[in-house]
Amino acid sequence: MKRWWLEMSKGFLLVLSGPSGVGKGTVCEALLKKRKDLVLSISATTRYKRLGEIDGESYFFYTEEDFGRMVENGEFLEHATVHEHKYGTPKKFVMDNVKKGEVVILEIDVQGAMQVKKEFDEAVFVMLLPPNMMELRNRIENRQTESEADINLRMKNALKELDFVTDYDYFVVNETVDKAVSDIDAIIEAEKHRVKRFKYVKEKVLGGKYV
Amino acid sequence: MKRWWLEMSKGFLLVLSGPSGVGKGTVCEALLKKRKDLVLSISATTRYKRLGEIDGESYFFYTEEDFGRMVENGEFLEHATVHEHKYGTPKKFVMDNVKKGEVVILEIDVQGAMQVKKEFDEAVFVMLLPPNMMELRNRIENRQTESEADINLRMKNALKELDFVTDYDYFVVNETVDKAVSDIDAIIEAEKHRVKRFKYVKEKVLGGKYV
């Protein structure tokens, strides 16, 4: 039997974001481990390549000049400057994979996600939330990498970022990594069944044989 | 830890429909067996109560007069006449359960689903599809309950019903009951994480303690 419904999906971009410290990286890693069919979006950067990093795998490495030209040509879904280095999400990599029917995952902060939404509102936006703010603070404190002032700044930013939850399609509470991953997994499965992502459903059921 | 995200969902109505013979009843039954938390919408009818049927469980049994009054008062999400008897989906039962946070399942034909959509477009519409039309014909034939003329009529209706797939949010192909049930299960899980179904997400994360 021809399984047209498995072949004709357009694929989509799933943007996963949330406040700093909520555990985006850990959840994203566990998700990619669970679902081998997902494609992780690769960022572009102007920073120097570190030992062991591979161009086109860890990052796409660009010169300031090339990066600037790409910004001008609108070749990024979003871009930002962090500590004097530029980072961005190349549109082509995402779009090529989406067209091939792949589900592309982009892990990014709220500001970046809102830029992506302007460029590509067909993406699926998922905000990862902490169960509550005390828990978020605990998690940041437990990393033991930030000063008290840094922690306070992160908490202040988290408060602002929460305002954007209404711009997202879904929210997932990261109480445990396993549950968060299985919630996102269900969202991906459901989105694969969206009528709006398919063309010619009727024609496929008819199979050209019954009209 | 207070699990606000489990308590504050508004619930929703999931309308499951599809062409006659696709296996709506079987899939719906298996789904209710798998997920004990779902509430099945109970229909109202003017037909006589059969032996063993319980009012408010099998159906809500109404007189022609009462049913007519409810139609006039707009108390049905949809209603239709089948073999001189009237059938309808009482709005109150669905809405009361949705407000309580329950996921209500309504198994109904495409015509009924389109009526529900006009009344309550916040519902989630899922169309169950056959893998192809020959398979649908085989399934109807295998029931051995319909004449050749009846089968042809059902196939003709199925063709028309497929035109409405674009009015649905999701489609699920019923190749096997198990896979169809797990697909609908994922859709329910995903819809429970929709931001639009929640109010005050930010306030809940803040827990009133951090503002």
> Which tens digits make up the pLDDT trace of B12-70?
999 999 998 899 999 999 999 999 999 999 999 999 998 999 998 889 999 999 999 99
Q: How far is CA B126 from CA A37, A120, B106, B129, B167, in A?
A: 25, 26, 10, 10, 10
Q: Tell me the chain B residues in contact with residue A163 when contact means C-beta distances shorter than 8 Å.
A: 202
Which of B5, B163, B207 faces A133 most closely, judged by CB atoms?
B207
Interface touch B162/A3, C-beta < 8 Å? no
Interface touch B1/A127, C-beta < 8 Å? no
- Quote the CA–CA distance of B89 and B82 in Å, as a whole number: 14
Interface touch B190/A187, C-beta < 8 Å? yes
Residue with tokens 């609908």: B184
Q: Tell me the chain B residues in contact with residue A197 when contact means C-beta distances shorter than 8 Å.
A: none
Which of B132, B169, B207 faces A205 most closely, judged by CB atoms?
B132
Kindly report the nearest CA distance between residue B113 and chain A, in angstroms.
16
Nearest alpha-carbon partner for B128 in B193, B87, B194, B181? B181
Average of per-residue pLDDT across A176-200:
94
> Which tens digits make up the pLDDT trace of B150-182?
899 999 999 999 999 999 999 999 999 999 999
Contact A168, A125 (CB under 8 A): yes
**Confidence tier at A209 by pLDDT (50, 70, 90):** low
Contact B193, A183 (CB under 8 A): yes
Which of B3, B171, B191 faces A195 most closely, judged by CB atoms?
B171
Between the two ends of chain B, the Cα-to-Cα distance in Å is 19
Interface touch A1/B175, C-beta < 8 Å? yes
Q: What is the ipTM of this complex?
A: 0.88
Of A89-98, A149-158, A180-189, minimum mean pLDDT range: A149-158
- Quote the CA–CA distance of B68 and A48 in Å, as a whole number: 76
E strand segments, chain A: 12-17, 38-40, 44-45, 60-61, 76-82, 85-90, 103-107, 124-129, 170-173
Which of A132, A173, A209 faces B207 most closely, judged by CB atoms?
A132
